[in-house]
Amino acid sequence: MTWIFLEAEDVWLFRDGRPFSAGEEHMARSVFPPSPLTVQGVLRSHIGAQQGVPWDEYRDQNTARAQQVAALIGEPPTPHSPGTLGQFAMAGPYVARREGDTYYRYFPLPADVAASEQGMAILTPQEKVIVANWPVEGLLPAWTELENVDDKLTRDVWLREDAFADYLKGTLPSRDDKERWVKSSSLYKTEHRFGINIDAQLGRTREGMLYQAAFIRPCKDVGLLVWIADGLLTQAEGFLAMGGERRAARYQTVPPEALYAARADWPTVTGRRLKLVFLTPAYFSHGWWPINGDWTPFFAGAQPRLVAAALKRPISIGGWDLAAQQPRAMHHYVAPGSVLYFEADGDFQLNAWAVTETPPGLPDHTAMGFGQVAVGEW
């Protein structure tokens, strides 16, 4: 595996899922981190460019070198096929910061963490009589006896990777620990800038086409950490274009010994009660529920049952279809930080690279970096 760290040369623009067209909507909003769909497109395009194959040649697949590139990054999409990924595989992207000689990932505070002025607690499934619109019968509420819970105390919070590892073991850092319990403002800033649409043929501005865009400026030493399969990059460092307006980014490979994840103890968790915490977005056929409600393909051992869920607001991911030259269909995804609780009559464990399905019309989401999870006990 190869880890790469991407840093912004200026600012980045990663559009959210809301429609935007100058003249119809004046505000282009941005998200951070970008979706795996965005980053895999950036990296696959860069790998193709490193091989000296322009997009048109790759798309047409009418030369030997274009077919060689397709073996690396997959066949291009067509109006009748979503394309393939070839040897390409990715995990992430993760927000990360270089701190001294160590790279730490930062994860959104899981949805099962509650806080009040009196303290903090991690929710657990409990037998409570409540009225809810669960999609199936038998689910339990994720609950805490902590009083005066205030959502504002846990809003827009990220956990540094070492604190996240402690959380999986049932321990939370103090809210006064500003290195491990951080607000997004200490990782990135949002800058609002104005623009106006230009008529390319006439070389002048178009009337009524003023718009505003929200750009992301990562803080010092903050960027995106991504894992990709070995042998795809021909250079250990370089520059590439990312996101809206193709803003510049520089990348460099990161030696495993520089990653906190390589030093931390992340054992395979086996037990009768496990919870999955999503680290990247995940798609399921029924919102946050897989086809036929069957979770067994993701586990080994005893047959698990989903008993509770603590979900964040779903996110919408679409994008641009290069083959059809039109927007892709929008799909809802389980947001990072969402938590699913499982139990079984015997020991079981996760046996999947990723916990996700793939929407119709798109390549394999498992290889794109969707559905990455961490496992803990409850």
Predicted confidence (pLDDT) per residue in 306-365, tens digit: 999 999 999 988 876 666 667 778 889 999 999 999 999 999 999 988 999 999 888 899
Residue 55 confidence (pLDDT): 81
Please state, in angstroms and rounded to a whole number, the distance separating the CA atoms of residues 192 and 6: 22
- Position 370 pLDDT exceeds 80: yes
DSSP one-letter code for 353:
S
- Position 33 pLDDT exceeds 80: yes
The token duo for 123 is 């929710």
- Position 268 pLDDT exceeds 90: no
How much is the average pLDDT of 243-255?
Answer: 85
- Position 265 pLDDT exceeds 70: no
Please state, in angstroms and rounded to a whole number, the distance separating the CA atoms of residues 15 and 133: 32
- Position 16 pLDDT exceeds 60: yes
Burial (CB count <10 Å: 0-12, 13-18, 19+), residue 104? buried
Q: State whether residue 257 is helix, strand or coil.
A: helix
Q: Does residue 218 or residue 138 have the better pLDDT?
A: 218
How would residue 103 be classed by pLDDT, with cut points 50, 70 and 90? very high
Give the best-scoring range by mean pLDDT among 76-80, 92-96, 294-298. 92-96
How much is the average pLDDT of 278-301?
Answer: 92
- Position 124 pLDDT exceeds 60: yes
Q: Does residue 373 or residue 53 have the better pLDDT?
A: 373
The runs of H, that is alpha helices, within 304-354 are none
How would residue 19 be classed by pLDDT, with cut points 50, 70 and 90? low
- Position 205 pLDDT exceeds 80: no
Q: Please say whether the beta carbons of 210 and 241 come within 8 A.
A: no
β-sheet bridge partners, residue 192: 214
